[in-house]
């Protein structure tokens, strides 16, 4: 195994082969996950990729959005598609990917919050990193409809900000 290295790339910079690799990894890891079965997803802005040599072994994607937090326009970056190939789990790759996501969110993207949707079994992973479980309703959109997201939502306040419960409308498709 070579040393793991990381890249952040705009979605438009991905080759068809790279995108196909990510889709195959997603299908392998999340085929039974309820999120992917019923929803249309927002376009991806950036990918954080982990490589072992030339092989992609981990990933997260980032989607920028101005959301409505209790009537206030709020700049958020949604994180989705966090995954590590099965044979590379337990090596800190997802944590290293999130380190890079969080740095990109507060650095180049200058957002107010990171935001993600997650399953109950991974809440502790994100909570250890300072992500907060949202108790307020979170409204999302699908073609022709708007509804309260039925799964868990977590927020990561960027340095200097704090989260106070308020309804959130992400003003578009989930990520």
Kindly report, residue by residue over 38-92, the tens digit of the pLDDT: 789 999 999 999 999 999 999 999 999 999 999 999 999 999 999 999 999 999 9
Q: Tally the domains of the chain.
A: 1
| Position 33 pLDDT exceeds 80 | no
Domain assignment present for residue 175? The answer is no
Taking 3-state DSSP, the helix, strand and coil percentages for the chain, each rounded to the nearest 5, stand at 30, 40, 35
| Position 37 pLDDT exceeds 70 | no
Q: What pLDDT does residue 174 have? A: 96
Residue among 155, 149, 150 at smallest CA distance from 171: 149
Domain assignment present for residue 29? The answer is yes
pLDDT band at 2 (very low <50, low <70, confident <90, very high): low
The region of weakest confidence among 28-32, 105-109, 150-154 is: 28-32
Residue among 89, 42, 86, 33 at smallest CA distance from 61: 42
Domain assignment present for residue 71? The answer is yes
Domain assignment present for residue 149? The answer is yes
Q: What pLDDT does residue 29 have? A: 76
Query: What six digits make up the tokens of 122?
Result: 């991974």
CATH value at residue 52: 3.40.630.30
Domain assignment present for residue 174? The answer is no
State which residues form the domain around 78: 4-169
Tens digit of each residue's pLDDT (9 = 90 or more) over 120-131: 999 999 999 999
Q: Report whether 96 contacts 83 (CB < 8 A).
A: no
Residue among 25, 91, 80 at smallest CA distance from 47: 80
Q: What pLDDT does residue 16 have? A: 93
As a whole number of angstroms, the distance between CA 125 and CA 111 comes to 22
Query: What six digits make up the tokens of 64?
Result: 């920028």
As a whole number of angstroms, the distance between CA 93 and CA 90 comes to 8
Residues 6+ apart with CB under 8 A from 153: 115, 116, 117, 118, 133, 134, 138, 168
What pTM was computed for the model? 0.92
As a whole number of angstroms, the distance between CA 8 and CA 131 comes to 21
Q: What pLDDT does residue 35 have? A: 64
Q: Give the CA angle between residues 1, 95, 14 to the nearest 5°.
A: 70
| Position 163 pLDDT exceeds 80 | yes
């Amino acid at each position: 195994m070579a040393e793991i290295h990381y890249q952040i790339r705009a979605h438009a910079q991905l080759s068809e082969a790279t995108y196909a690799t990510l889709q195959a990894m997603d299908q392998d890891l999340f085929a039974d996950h309820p999120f992917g079965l019923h929803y249309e997803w927002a376009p991806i802005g950036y990918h954080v990729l982990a490589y072992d040599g030339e092989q992609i072994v981990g990933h997260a994607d980032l989607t920028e959005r101005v959301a409505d937090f209790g009537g206030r326009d709020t700049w958020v970056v949604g994180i989705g598609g966090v995954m590590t190939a099965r044979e590379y789990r337990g090596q800190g790759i997802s944590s290293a990917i999130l380190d890079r996501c969080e740095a990109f969110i507060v650095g180049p993207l200058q957002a107010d919050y990171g935001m993600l949707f997650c399953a109950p079994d991974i809440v502790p992973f994100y909570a250890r990193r300072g992500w907060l479980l949202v108790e307020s309703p979170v409204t999302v959109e699908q073609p022709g409809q708007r509804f309260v997201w039925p799964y868990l939502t977590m927020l990561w306040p960027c340095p200097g900000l704090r989260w106070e419960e308020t309804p959130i409308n992400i003003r578009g498709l989930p990520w």
